[in-house]
Amino acid sequence: MDNTIQEGPTGAILRDLPSPYQPHPLGLLHLPRFIAKIRKYLKNELPKSYQRNFTKGFDGFLCLHLEINPQDVIECVKNAVSEQELDGQLKELFPAELNAHVWNRKVVQMGMSDMAFEKLEEVKSALGAEKRSDLRSFADVIEFDEGRIE
């Protein structure tokens, strides 16, 4: 098995995806992760455990924030022959005002509201991390699941 993929309690875990906390040069958190997942998807290398939330979850929320269709981002990644070309295509696709500060706050805080807290606790339980009070957001849980938080 590829050393970038390990089996975990919820299925395959990709160890080579960027952190949701990693910003893109445009300033948006999670975008490098979405792009990396798209690249794996296009090569049929995105495990089933990631396909469930592909273009949904943070991917979908990012696209909703930008008022774009996730399929358009997939097309940009598919058609770009370089990082510079991809960045140019994304700049054309994205609105002029990204409101990165608004989006980045959502990434950092998603799971902290009363409504989302129950789901966050459910996900933590599925990972065997129900007693981990330091995992306060969905991004933290991703970090834990992929081994960036021990």
For position 129, what pLDDT does the model report?
Answer: 94
Whether residues 13 and 62 share a domain: the answer is: yes
3-state secondary structure of 28: coil
The whole domain housing 137 covers 110-145
User: Whole-model pTM?
Assistant: 0.91
Residue 14 lies in a domain: yes
Residue 47 in any domain: the answer is: yes
Task: Give the pLDDT of residue 11.
Answer: 75
Q: d(Cα 76, Cα 27) in Å, to the nearest integer? A: 18
Per-residue pLDDT at 5 = 65
Residues of the chain with pLDDT under 50: 1
* 49 and 89 housed in the same domain: yes
Q: What is the pLDDT of residue 76?
A: 98
Residue 111 DSSP class: T
Q: Give the total number of structural domains in the chain.
A: 2
Residue 44 lies in a domain: yes
72 and 91 share one domain: yes
List CB contacts of 129: < 8 A, sequence separation 6 or more: 135, 141, 144
